[in-house]
Every structure is written in structure tokens, then in C-alpha cells.
Amino acid sequence: MATFPLPLPSTQPEPQPAADLGGGTVATLRHATGLTPFARPVVDRYRRYQEAGETRDGLRTGVGFTFWQLRQDRETQFAITAPDYAAEDFVDATTDDLTLALWIEAAQADVLSRADVDGAPVDMAMGVTFTKAALTVVERGRTDELVLVRRPSTSEDDSGWLVRTAEKSFLRNKEVEILAGLLVQSAAYLVPLLTLPTGTVARVADGRFLGAWATRATDGTVTDADRQLLDADGRGAGAPIGERGQAAAPTTETIEEVVDGVTLRARTHPQLAPLAGSILMAFAAGAAGPLEPGARLQMSYAPYTLEATDEGGVLLVTTPDFSSPEAYRERTTDDLTGALLKQVEQVQTARKAGVDAAPVRATETIAIQSAALDAIVLGQPAAFVMERFEHDPGARALTDGTRRSGWSIAMTTAQTDEERALRNIDAGELQACDRTFGPYLALPVGSLLQFVGGELHAAHLVHQAKLDEVLERGEYRTMGEVLASGEASRPLFVDAD
């Protein structure tokens, strides 16, 4: 079984084949073997600088956790360097041994691959908050158990991470913030975990990983209802990155579209690159108006927005971050993989059901009973009924203008008016919270789905007019009996595997 977290390579750094940046200029790299795939995004970034005529000595750029820098060795030869994390002033001190910096990228990618979640990147300059007690554990190398909690970030420089001791210290609970880069030297075992999304709780003791969970608790409390992302051996819903078809390869690639001197850029999984490319081309064709920050394009499911970068003439194509409900509400990402996967998954589900897809936008609301919403958020096992209605023309939007999807989710066990009260939740936020319902959102009006234990139990397409006729007869039959009769509905997914 692969070691977790991914160990730092023990081999000595070796010069790698020079990378051609274009125009006769090359970049040299030196690192341990096995890390080359994780250097490619860095090389690709410097190639874009070379295309723009901006290659120069000392050019810095942020890719992943690290800020990389060029060192000019000859007129047309530059060495790619990384921070010397062992130095007291690691921000300015550099080294051409890229092993440690590339290991961070590999180890973080491995964590996400094992947990099968979308990450929320942290760079070396972002703040990580420690209680005084936890900082003492790290600085003195003590064996106390530490709890890492990722809360919503409060600023661009805040990672959202809080590190405290498992045994709460009321005398030493004052919080201090340190740069994430400082942990590379003092507590490297924490760094691979920093890419896990908002809502994550992780536990470590004496440098050993104990587990990670997805929870809504902001104090790090983990209950039986919380979903475990990784166990103590690093086992999760996914697989070690070296065991996923592409051995030790990054999970996304960068795509670009250039129009009138403006470069549109995004990232996505290689298999989704054609679909992502169509979004960039739509922006380039003027579907969202002038190419400027804030331009917005609504596709079949997710909205896409142009955001400015520090590179002149480059705009990122971003979408909401579906890694957690908090991330969905507060952040965007230029990794379009999550949004595109959800779009493809919905279309494929409709095809398997034998119906035409009726897409729902992530910004459209789903009416959810309060009792059902509580069960979903807390991860409680429950039986849900999910149904899509046709709204009257005058009722297709809420008073604030938000469009209704027509979907509702209820629990038959809801008893009180408070439990049955409806709450309108964005489809995207629900999907970021729970993966159970998302694949079925593109099923048409009349779809009635029953879920038990997080799995689809039964699915029917109901003909409302025929159902009204059956009910008007006044015969006492349960809804289950009516559906089973086939008089007013037909089953979905009957030919599904």
C-alpha cells in the first residue's frame, strides 16, 4: 500500500533535460527523480511569459503552493528556482534544488486524489492560524494531538485553517497567524493537508496522520454523522495519485484562447478540455459582451465569469467553487472540472433514464423541507422524496427574482409545521453539500424520485393529468400503489445497469 502522506524523495537531486521556453531560450531544472510531471505547470507558466516577451532575471510567479523565480545563468538560459524553505528568510532566499517544492505539489495532489474532493489551494504566503498551545507543540516537537479546522477565509491572505490542540487549553488559546511557508520547515507533515477544502477537520499526533472528515462544525468537532474523507492510512473514496491511470500526474491541464490580444485562461481535467474550450470560445466570440473583468456567461448549468490577473492581458475564466457549501458561496476557481463534471453527469443521467435533459442552473433554487435540509446537512440517514413540478408562469421566480428549478425535496416523516416549512436553496449549494441529488437535476418536470440511505430507491416519470384522473376516482390507494400500477406514470432507469 502506498505510504501516506506521500514521502519526500530520498534520492539526490539531478539536472533534468532543459525545457524549451521558445525563441531559443531554455530553462534548467534540478530535482529528485519522479517529480517531473509536477514541474510542467511551472514550465508552462514561464513559456507564457516568454511568449509575452517578459522573461527576465528574477521573474517570480506563483504556481500551486510555491512562488517560483528565474535566475539568469546565460543570455538565453535561466534556472528555475524555488524558495529555500530551510533559510530563515525563505521568502527571499532561493535554491535551484526544486525537490522540496515539487514534493509539496505532489503530496497535496495525492491527498486530493485519495479523498476524491476538489481542493482549495493555499500558497506559501497565506496565513495559518495557531493557538499558542498548538504552536508550542509544533515548535518543540511534542507529541500532543493537533486538530486542523478549515473555516471560511476572511481575506485573500487567510487560508481559513485553524490549528489547535485536541485537549483545549483555556490558558493558551490566544490565536496567532504564521505564514504557511514556515510550516515546510517546522511541520512539513501538515503541509500536504492544507489543500483540503473548507469544512475539513483533520487530526494528527506526533507527526502521524489520524484522519480527515467533512463537517460543518467550526470548532473541529467530529460526529458519527460526518463523512470521513481519509482514514489513518490515507484511504478515502479515491486512490493514490500514482494508481490513477496517469502515474503521478497533475489532475488538470491549462487551456487558453487568445483573441484581440487578450488571453483567456482556465484549467480542467484533460478529458474535459474540449468542453471547457467551448466556454472560452463563447467568451471570445462575444457571447458575454466585451472581454473585461466581471463579464459573465451562463451555460447549461454553471455560470462562468472573467476575472483579472496580475499578468497583463490575461483573464481567468472562473466558476463557483463546488468543493463545499461555504466555498460555493464565497469563492470562485479557474479549475472548471467540478462544474463541467456536474453538467456532464446530469446529461448522462437523463440519457440513462431515457428522457430529454431539462437543465437546471446552479443558481436556481430547490425547495427543501426544513427537516429534510437538517438531515442532509447533518448527514443523517433518511428517506427523501424528490419531485419536479411545473410552476405557473407567474410563480417561476421568487420575490427577489431568483429562478425556481421546480424541484422539491421532502421527508414523509416530517410532522410539525416547522419541519415541513420550505427553504429555498441554490441547486449549486445543495450539490456542494451533498452529492446524492445533483446527478438527477436535469430530469424533466414530472420526475419523482425516492432515496433511501443515500441511494436512489425508485424513480418514475409522472403524467400529472393522468394522475389527477386516478385521484378523482376517489379510490383509496397509496401513492406507491398508484405508481406501481403504471396508470399515471412509467419507471425511469429500467434499462440502467
Tell me, yes or no, whether 128 and 44 share the same domain. Answer: no
DSSP states along 102-117: HHHHHHHHHHHHHHT-
Domain count of the chain?
Answer: 4
Overall average pLDDT of the 124-140 stretch:
93
pLDDT one-digit tens code per residue, 355-414: 999 999 999 999 999 999 888 876 666 889 999 998 887 788 888 888 999 999 999 888
Q: Which of 151, 105, 93 is nearest to 127 (CA)?
A: 151
pLDDT above 70 (res 420): yes
42, with CB counted inside 10 A (0-12, 13-18, 19+), is buried
Q: Tell me, yes or no, whether 375 and 458 share the same domain.
A: yes
Q: Do 325 and 370 fall within a single domain?
A: no
On the question of pLDDT at 241 being above 80, the answer is no
372 within some domain: yes
State the Cα–Cα distance between residues 182 and 168, nearest whole angstrom: 24
Q: Residue 48 domain-assigned?
A: yes
Q: Smallest Cα–Cα separation from 191: which of 362, 12, 64, 310? A: 64
Are 306 and 384 part of one and the same domain? no
Residue tagged 503541509 (cell numbers): 191
Instruction: Work out the angle at residue 10's Cα, subtended by the Cα atoms of residues 4 and 12, and round it to the nearest 5 degrees.
Output: 150
Same domain, 257 and 201: no
Look at residue 285 in the predicted model and tell me its pLDDT.
92
- Residue 346 included in any domain: no
Model confidence at 248: pLDDT above 70: no
Same domain for 400 and 320?
A: no
- The type of residue at 318 is T
Is 7 inside a domain boundary? no
**Final residue of a domain: which of 311, 341, 371?**
341
The answer to whether the predicted template modeling score (pTM) of the entire model surpasses 0.75 is no
**Do 443 and 472 reside in the same domain of the chain?**
yes
Which of residues 74, 104, 134 is at a domain's end? Answer: 104
pLDDT digits (tens, 9 = 90+) for 296-343: 999 889 999 999 998 889 999 999 998 878 788 888 999 999 899 899
pLDDT-derived band at 247 (thresholds 50, 70, 90) equals: very low
Residue 9 covered by a domain: no
Q: How far is CA 204 from CA 5, 126, 149, 192, 470, in A?
A: 12, 21, 12, 12, 60
Q: How far is CA 108 from CA 11, 57, 190, 402, in A?
A: 20, 29, 10, 37
Asked whether residue 47 falls in the same domain as residue 71, the answer is yes
- Which domain covers residue 420, as residue numbers? 355-491
Query: pLDDT tens, 430-480?
Result: 988 888 899 999 999 999 999 886 778 889 998 888 887 877 777 767 777
Instruction: Tell me the mean pLDDT in the region 144-160.
Output: 89
Question: Which position has the higher pLDDT, 132 or 11?
Answer: 132
Q: Let me know if residue 401 belongs to a domain.
A: yes
Q: Is residue 362 part of a domain?
A: yes
The rounded distance, in Å, linking the Cα atoms of 400 and 413 is 31
Domain closes at, from 184, 203, 235: 235
pLDDT reported for residue 52: 85
Average pLDDT score, the chain: 88
Beta-bridged to residue 147, according to DSSP, are 164, 203
- Higher confidence at residue 271 or residue 316? 316
One domain for residues 331 and 375: no
> pLDDT-based confidence at 222, cuts 50/70/90?
confident
Query: Residue 134: pLDDT above 60?
Result: yes
Average pLDDT over residues 37-55: 89
At residue 475, φ and ψ (nearest 5 deg) are: -75, 140
For residues 52 and 131, membership in a common domain is answered with no
Both 400 and 467 in one domain: the answer is: yes
Assigned domain for 349 exists = no
pLDDT at position 30 over 60: yes
Q: Are 362 and 447 contained in the same domain?
A: yes
